[in-house]
Amino acid sequence: MKKIIACAGLNGNEKALDKLLAAIKQRKPDGVLFAGGIVAPHTHIAHKAEFMKKFFEVLGGSAPAVAIIPGPNDSPLREFYRAALNAEVVYPALMAVHATSFTRDDYAVCGIGGMLTESEDTDFPIIRYSHAAAEYYLRTLWQVEKTIKILLLSEPPPGQLGGSDGNPIAQEFITSYHPSICIVAGNKENRGSEMFAKTLVVNPGAIADGSAAWIERIAKKVEMLDL
C-alpha cells in the first residue's frame, strides 16, 4: 500500500460520497482508509442501516484494499457489523478493522472506532470505548509481524490536528503503539499532517466538507484534497 486516500466524516452525505468515489477513480490508490463517520448524527436506525449498506457497496470495489472503522455516531454496532460482513463477502479487498486487524503483503491495518473515554463502554446512541477495552483490542499492533503498521482512530490527538476536539487517549495510543501511519477523524479546520516521533499522523478533514488526503507512503508525502 504505497499510495493511499485517507478520509473520514462522510456524515450521511450522498453527494460527498459520489465525489469521494470520483477522486478514488481519478487517483487510483493502492488503499482507501476511512476513520469513521459514515452516517449523520440523530439519524433513524433504519436510515442508518440503509446508508451504511450503500457506503460499503460503493467503497467495496473502489481500491485493492479498503479499511474502515465506525465513528461515534455509527451506532448501533450491529448495523455497522451487518453491513460490513455482507460487503466483505462480495468484496474481499474490503475489511472493517474496528477492534481487529487486516494484514496483507508487508502491512497491517488496525483500528478502534467511537469515542475514547477513561471508563465508559457504550454501543448506543453513541459508540464509546474505555481506555482499557481499546488497549485490549489494539494489542494486535504489538503482535503482528509486518513492516508497515497503520492505525485508524475516529478521534484526533490534541494539538494542531485536533484543536478543541483533541483526545489525549488518542495521542497516548499513537505514542505507545508507534504505528508507521495513523489516520484520525477530525474537522476541516484542523486537517493536515504531523510527525509524532516516527509516526505520520494525518487528519484528512471531513468528506462532508469536501476534504480528504492523499498519502504517498514511501516519501511520507501528504497532499490535502478538495473534493
Q: Which domain holds residue 200?
A: 3-226
Q: How many domains does the chain have?
A: 1
Q: What CATH number does the domain containing 154 carry?
A: 3.60.21.10
What pLDDT is recorded for position 79? 95
d(CA 63, CA 56): 12
**Neighbouring residues of 195: CB distance < 8 A, sequence distance ≥ 6:** 201
pLDDT in tens, 123-138: 999 999 999 999 999 9
- In the sheet where 192-196 sits, what is the strand order? 101-104, 107-112, 148-153, 181-184, 199-203, 192-196
Q: 46 vs 52, 106, 190, CA distance in Å?
A: 10, 39, 32
The answer to whether residue 140 scores a pLDDT higher than 90 is: no
Cis ω for the linkage preceding 125 (within 30 of 0): yes
Give the bridge partners for 226, in sequence order: 211
For the entire predicted model, the pTM comes to: 0.97
The answer to whether residue 63 scores a pLDDT higher than 90 is: yes
Q: What would the mean pLDDT of 190-211 be, rounded to a whole number?
A: 96
3-state secondary structure the chain: CCEEEEECCCCCCHHHHHHHHHHHHHHCCCEEEECCCCCCCCCCHHHHHHHHHHHHHHHHCCCCCEEECCCCCCCCHHHHHHHHHHHHHHCCCEEECECCEEEECCEEEEEECCEEECCCCECCCCCEEEHHHHHHHHCHHHHCCCCEEEEEECCCCCCCCCHHHCCHHHHHHHHHHCCCEEEECCCHHHCEEEEECCEEEEECCCHHHCEEEEEECCCCEEEEEEC
pLDDT in tens, 67-89: 999 999 999 999 999 999 999 99
110 confidence band (pLDDT: 50, 70, 90): very high
